[in-house]
Amino acid sequence: MEETQLKRRNFLKAAVASTVAAGTLSATAAQAETASSKKDVVKAASKIPRKLLGTTGASVPILQLGTSQRLDPKYDRIMHRCFKEGVDYFDTALSYGWGSSHRAIANFLKQMGDRKNIWLTSKSGSEDPDELIRDIDQCLSELETDYLDLYLMHGVNDTDLLGKDFIRAGEKLRKSGKTRFFGFSCHSGNVVELMNLAAKVGGIDAILFRYNFRRYGDRELNLAIDACKKAGIGLMAMKTMGSVPSGAEKVVKFQSQDFTLAQAKLKSVWADERIDTVVSEMDSVRVTRENVAAAKTEKSLAASDMHQLHQLAAQTAHLSCQGCSNLCEASVAQNVRIADTLRFLMYHECYGQAEKAQALYRALPQEERQFNNVDFTAATKICPQGIDIENRIKHAQNLLA
């Protein structure tokens, strides 16, 4: 991807520093650094900054490794690399890696032999409190550990899932010691409603939600974030790249003294002090190095960096679904999954994850991906991103069906 190319001099300093930290930089290259850049190296070689997760009292790195990609079950070098850099927070789920993520992480835990210094979050997509309680045993068994640090209800899209029975299930699991903390993740359009409700009902320690430079102007979301912050809920951002196909991002020729486009996107989320930490699916050493360097540097985004992100958001909005399924899906007569389909299209188009995108799409119930007789006129009209929904869905069908 264009944005991940390590072009800029200042970024190279930070990335080189990261390589020094991993002990792989040649002596010649290191000596070539100037005195001032050596100072940068020392700074950047320190560990990833940490923040308290809401009012849990737990300290977490501002960058976490998301593990929905396939991990190497024998020796996952990204996980090891992350841990060395201070990214000691690993975010997984029963469904990740087609059910293989937990086993690979279990192996990593054995290799590290340092469970207490590794944070494990896992998730269950169950919509029944008893199953939620049962599922944590499966997580623990697969991960070969006796506790999770955080257990999340996965992909919550219904306010009923914040009802008393679910909150009680979370309390029960905390008391049992099977998890230290409890919360939920949400990709959906009713994130604002869910966050406001979570701030009221209590019992939710942390929320993982979609947040990126495209959402800054969203007043309702901002108020919901404020409410959660006030309630002491830990806020964890995902989908921070707000990705569109890399060719489309060329409409803005992003130029920065300090950051690549991907780094600037991360920095824009960290600039929001209400966000405690960011989950990033780092699927290569190159991306890991780039993200880690961004997390470590004390440099902030320049006003011109931010301005370019705003321009990018405006000019590519029509390609970036923000998951507000409550708007478009309520505007069509059929019970179809528009937002999920466009998310899977993003995996294919933006991250080159064709296999994952196709598998997720094909796992949708047949009737929920039956788009042929759907009239998208009202949905397209209401879409705040200005997406030509019919065309994008057709494109998704061609690629994923």
Q: Between 101 and 320, whose beta carbon lies closer to ligand SF4?
A: 320
Helix, strand, coil percentages in the chain from 3-state DSSP, rounded to 5: 55, 10, 35
Q: What are the residues whose beta carbons fall under 8 Å from the beta carbon of 269, sequence distance 6 or more? A: 211, 212, 213, 237, 240, 275, 278
Name the minimum Å distance from CB 383 to ligand SF4. 3
Q: Between 286 and 381, whose beta carbon lies closer to ligand SF4?
A: 381
Name the minimum Å distance from CB 69 to ligand SF4. 23
Q: Between 90 and 347, whose beta carbon lies closer to ligand SF4?
A: 347
Q: Between 79 and 360, whose beta carbon lies closer to ligand SF4?
A: 360
Q: Between 150 and 339, whose beta carbon lies closer to ligand SF4?
A: 339
Q: Of the candidates 261, 218, 219, 217, which has an alpha carbon nearest to the alpha carbon of residue 240?
A: 261
- The terminus-to-terminus CA distance of the chain in angstroms comes to 25
What amino acid occupies position 241?
Answer: M
What is the spatial distance between Cα 396 and Cα 361, in angstroms, rounded to a whole number?
Answer: 9
User: Which two tokens mark 100?
Assistant: 């293989």
Name the minimum Å distance from CB 283 to ligand SF4. 24
User: Which two tokens mark 244?
Assistant: 């569109």
61 forms beta bridges with 50
Do 322 and 214 touch, CB atoms closer than 8 A?
yes
Name the minimum Å distance from CB 219 to ligand SF4. 16
Q: Between 202 and 386, whose beta carbon lies closer to ligand SF4?
A: 386
Interacting residues with ligand SF4 (CB under 6 A):
189, 321-325, 327-328, 338-339, 342, 383, 385, 387, 389
Q: Between 60 and 319, whose beta carbon lies closer to ligand SF4?
A: 319
Name the minimum Å distance from CB 325 to ligand SF4. 5
Name the minimum Å distance from CB 187 to ligand SF4. 10
Q: Between 162 and 342, whose beta carbon lies closer to ligand SF4?
A: 342
What amino acid occupies position 188?
Answer: S
Long-range contacts, stretch 312-317, CB < 8 angstroms, 24+ apart? 312/213, 312/249, 312/251, 312/252, 312/254, 312/261, 313/213, 313/214, 313/216, 313/242, 315/251, 315/252, 316/244, 316/248, 316/249, 316/251, 317/214, 317/385, 317/386, 317/387
CA 358 centroid distance within chain:
20
Name the minimum Å distance from CB 384 to ligand SF4. 6
235 forms beta bridges with 207
Name the minimum Å distance from CB 176 to ligand SF4. 37
